[in-house]
Structure 1
């Protein structure tokens, strides 16, 4: 079979080490500007830690340096084509028009008048909160620097949301509960 994309969930349970989970989420969602098929595309966060995790993740994402990969200190580069940039814009605009909020990012550096990104297909690393399953960034692989945050209440809800994709290439989750580790690993449809 061919590997033709992914829509990987990244699940954060309320007993997780949030610092470690946020650091891992940044690495997974923003690696290569979000342009790998195993990037975290949908970050599912349990209600009890949702707000705290959103703040922590946003602070880490704000610290990313956007620019050309040949420049020192750059941690997030350009998108591959104008079409890729358009898709990221479309996903963010769709989410915001349906009630999501950009905690950080949400625009191209052209909008930010950032000279280090002139002439490239750059999009500011973005964290979206209050994202829902009716938004494009839930159904489609964005393939760009976006971390959409979805809420869930119970373990079963997280598993159902995680498995609600045609592209189960990879899945990630953070918990301190060993029993949950085994249950969730068995229940997720990925690989």
Structure 2
């Protein structure tokens, strides 16, 4: 067995994989709990066979590179990446209260004080500003990519469409979710 497979076995040996939290194009997100500390993490398991082209794997590598840049309490933290011949395991901070989208659906219309909590405290704006200071544009900012922790704080997640930019240079491609795009795009 090669070193990467040993590392994956060690990772999985120290963590007990739990329920599936979500499914994506290339794999799934599972909750995992450390056997000894009981600390929970989110483990993204990306199947290499589902990434049909080298371009797709390059996008995953770019997302990992960008996530490694961030050390901020309100941007999802990347802990570890383990590669095997068949899969890529991306271990990230687990946020236990789900998406802001689901919260709003569950609550219906938000009470004024709750809306104020997200807007006046600049919960979302400060996260995006942090990314921009690090020359990263998210390009898929939506309620489904804003997660809530146990204190009701917003955590910015899912950098799959993000990219690094430079001052004075504009990215030319249009990305994001069509349902969130400005009219005319």
Assess same fold via TM > 0.5: no
Which of the pair is proportionally richer in helix?
1
> How high is the TM-score relative to the length of structure 2?
0.30
Larger Rg: 2
RCO higher in 1 or 2 (8 Å CA, sep ≥ 6)?
A: 1
